[in-house]
Amino acid sequence: MNTLTKEISLQERDKAVNWHPYTQMKTADDAIPIVKGKGIYLYDTEGKKYLDVVSSWWVTLHGHSHPYIAQRVFEQLNTLEQVIFAGFTHEPAIQLSENLLRLLPDSQEKVFYSDNGSTAVEVALKMCIQYAYNKENKKTKILAFKNAYHGDTFGAMSVSGKSFWTRPFESMLFEVVFIDTPNAENIESLRLQIKELAAEVACFIYEPLVQGAAGMLMYKAEDLSQLMKFCREEGVLMIQDEVFTGFGRTGKLFAADYLTEKPDIMCFSKGLTGGTMPMGITTCSNEIYEAFLSEDRYKTLFHGHSFTANPLACTAALASMELLLTNETQMNINRITHQHSEFVKVLALHPHVEKVRQIGTILAFDFKTGNDTSYFNEIGKKLYNEFLQRGIIMRPLGNVIYLVPPYCITSEELDFVYQNITEVLDQFRE
């Protein structure tokens, strides 16, 4: 390279070749180039550090570049990095399935591997639809919650709430019946609605307790348990999407631990590998699994991914789960939950805040703007930039501000974030 050639920045190189997710590239600011991550912090090319309090899109449970996970993956990389999972198996996949199933409701007995949250949902939907097909049943409709978000592939989009995100594809999405999230006032009408539709419904898919992308909308475990009971009574299979809520986010290992009823299928990703590598898992009951067992090869679940049960990702997940179950991590989750609860009391008194909500390590509230809560509210970008200037990565969902920090965040770091939230709220006060 000619030494007189001007060095091109990472930002310029990025802009020349990359298309970023959920980003209007024409108006977007240049992406911030990150060169290192350690614990709660990310570091850019200028050496500035940022508190990652959204866990890099809700995936990083134990902080960045965790040495234990890194060492385990390195050892596996030098042993077995990849093998086709059709006709072959390996120790990390077997052990991960064994360990995970021990933590889940006893309705979960088999594990199917995929690549991410969307594909875990796709697998679940295909299981339910083909379950009915294999049993020569004509159930094809699907129930889902309004405002749901289950991913960006076509099946996952179909069962997600209709929005600006899905509008270009609406004619290509399959039929879904959308219902309200349950509460004391509507639970009886929801029961009647399920009873009326049950003969045609292949499954009901839902985000338990928290609808994340919709703005961290929360609802009660007892109401969901009642709704699940109705589904069980009417023979409607249930898919519990714990892609976001799994692995400690709600204060318990899984949102399922708050519920009195058990799902037929569960979906996992995000925190599954501690944010280290992509992986999706769909677990199911033996009843569903056995509907695919046949001398008839056409009853096979014809689904797979090149990197299904990748040994490196399985090893990262095993290491992350070991860390999750330590006393230290469980104490950290409890500490964060308690600190959030104390800050909720402060936020509730702030004149520019409404609808403060929290479960476990997830804290959210609406910034009052005089308009309806919306992902497209322009205040979101202003808040995002203001927090970045303060060295905090906060990615508001429009006017919804939320925290989903890694479990390694200290009390002092959390207090620093709370203080800056309060200052920003005061600064943006009308």
Q: Which residues are catalytic?
A: 22, 149, 241, 270
Instruction: Say whether 246 counts as a known binding-site residue.
Output: no
Instruction: Say whether 57 counts as a known binding-site residue.
Output: yes
Instruction: Say whether 65 counts as a known binding-site residue.
Output: no
Instruction: Say whether 304 counts as a known binding-site residue.
Output: yes
What is the SS3 string spanning the chain? Answer: CCCCCCCCCHHHHHHHHCCCCCCCCCCCCCCCCEEEEEECEEEECCCCEEEECCHHHHCCCCCECCHHHHHHHHHHHCCCCCCCCCCCCCHHHHHHHHHHHHHCCCCCCEEEEECCHHHHHHHHHHHHHHHHHHCCCCCCEEEEECCCCCCCCHHHHHCCCCCCCCHHHHHHCCCEEEECCCCCCCHHHHHHHHHHHHHHEEEEEECCCEECCCCCEECCHHHHHHHHHHHHHCCCEEEEECCCCCCCCCCCCCHHHHCCCCCCEEEECHHHHCCCCCCEEEEECHHHHHCCCCCCHHHCCCCCCCCCCCHHHHHHHHHHHHHHCCHHHHHHHHHHHHHHHHHHHHHHCCCCEEEEEEECCEEEEEECCCCCCCCCCCHHHHHHHHHHHCCEECCCECCEEEECCCCCCCHHHHHHHHHHHHHHHHHCCC
Instruction: Say whether 62 counts as a known binding-site residue.
Output: no
Instruction: Say whether 305 counts as a known binding-site residue.
Output: yes
Instruction: Say whether 270 counts as a known binding-site residue.
Output: yes
Residue ranges for the binding site?
Answer: 57, 117-118, 149, 241, 270, 304-306, 395
Residue ranges for the binding site for pyridoxal 5'-phosphate?
Answer: 117-118, 241, 305-306
Residue ranges for the binding site for substrate?
Answer: 57, 149, 270, 304, 395
